[in-house]
Amino acid sequence: MYTIEKNGDHLLVKFNEIFDFPMIQTIIHHLTKIREYPGTNDIWLIGNHHADIRLGELEMMVREFQCLCPTDATRTKTAVVVDNGLTGAIISLWVEGLKNRVAFDIRIFPALEEAQAWLGVGKKRVA
C-alpha cells in the first residue's frame, strides 16, 4: 500500500510495500485528484520497495500520468526517492519518459534529504 501526506509545502507519497502497475495507476489517480496537487510540489518516497512492473507497462504509466496532470497546474517539481538496483532502473526509465511530457521538472534522488533540498522544503519564503 501507500500513503499520501499533505505537508505544508509539499505532498509526500510514501510506498509501504512491493508495488505493481495497478498500484501505480491508483497512486496517480489519487494524487492528481487531490485539491492541492495542481499548485503543490511532491515527493515520491519509494526507497527500497520492489517494483513488479513489466517494461511494456512503462509507456502506459507515462501516458496515464501525462493525461491526468492538470494542464493549468502551477506546480514546478516532482522528486522521486528510490534506491539503486532493478527498481531504481525501472523508475529511471519512467522518469525519463515523463521529462518531456509534463510541465514540471521531475528528478530522481537517492535520499529524502536531497529531494527535500531540491524542492526547497522548509526554506522560508521572502515576500
The tens digit of pLDDT for each residue in 18-28 reads 999 999 999 99
The tens digit of pLDDT for each residue in 53-90 reads 999 999 999 999 999 998 889 999 999 999 999 999 99
Q: State the Cα angle at 67 between 4 and 33, rounded to 5°.
A: 30
H or E, element range at 115: helix 112-119
We report the CATH number of the domain holding residue 37 as 3.30.750.24
Give the pLDDT score at 66: 94
In a domain, 96, yes or no: yes
- Provide the domain limits for residue 114: 2-119
CA-based radius of gyration for the chain: 14
pTM for this model (two decimals): 0.92
Residue 123 has pLDDT above 70, yes or no: no
Q: Give φ, ψ of 19 to 5 degrees.
A: -130, 160
Query: How many structural domains does the chain have?
Result: 1
For the packed helices 55-68 and 21-33, what is the interaxial angle rounded to 10 degrees? 10
In a domain, 12, yes or no: yes
Q: 127 pLDDT band (50/70/90 cuts)? A: very low
